[in-house]
Amino acid sequence: MHPEILSICLFWFVTAFTPGPNNVVASYSGFNFGIIKTIPHILGVTLGFSFMVFCLIIGLVNIFKIYPIAQEILKYLGSIFVIYLAYKISFSGASAESKKNENPVKFIETFLYQFFNPKGVIVAVIVVSTYVDVGDNYFNYSFQIILLALVFSVTSITLWTFVGKFLRKFATNQKFIKYFNYAMSVLLLLSIITFYL
């Protein structure tokens, strides 16, 4: 067992369950499309984030240390994608008929986005550079970090999906749905502004 397992769990918990691009999109998708159609998003976030942590553990974190500009570039590219998502959410059709044919963000898009997600990349770099040392316990500690990434990712993203689905009960008219989508767009934009302050 990692000697700082409680510290790691607390850090994962706080960073996973607080609002961020993945969580906001999960709530939007749960609200507009339901739980079943949001499963590709849930799997994309969970597997994509955990795979990114794995990549960092096997060496990507060293590239960021040698070339910090690479992390900055990813941050800006991720921010542009979040702005695009906010635009799509804000101006998405609200009618029931259009919703039947629409799909939320797809698995592969969500999976790949984890490498550009400003919040996710920063969190993963902090965890890997702080809690994984090359030594006798390297593989054991790495496995624990990846396992915790999986657990906290899937629980947080699923919870946010259910929050969106729960809020759908209060959507009694198209105006409410439109305002909910606007609110999700604003939250998405706010989630990236914090990385530039």
pLDDT digits (tens, 9 = 90+) for 18-38: 888 899 999 999 998 999 999
Angle between helix 174-193 and helix 68-90 axes, rounded to 10 deg: 170
Could you report the per-residue pLDDT of 67-121, keeping only the tens digit for each?
Answer: 878 778 877 887 888 888 788 878 765 544 445 556 667 899 999 999 888 888 8
Rounded distance, CA 168 to CA 178, Å?
A: 12
**CB under 8 Å to 26, separation ≥6 — which residues?**
38, 41, 42, 45, 157, 158, 160, 161, 164
For 133, the enclosing helix (H) or strand (E) is: none
Higher pLDDT, 38 or 130: 38
Residue with tokens 């609110």: 183
**CB under 8 Å to 149, separation ≥6 — which residues?**
12, 49, 50, 53, 124, 127
Percent above pLDDT 70 for the chain: 91
**CB under 8 Å to 65, separation ≥6 — which residues?**
129
Rg, the chain, Cα only: 17
Higher pLDDT, 43 or 120: 43
Could you report the per-residue pLDDT of 168-185, keeping only the tens digit for each?
Answer: 888 777 888 788 888 888
Amino acid at 124: A
Q: Where are the domains of the chain?
A: 21-196
Higher pLDDT, 126 or 39: 39
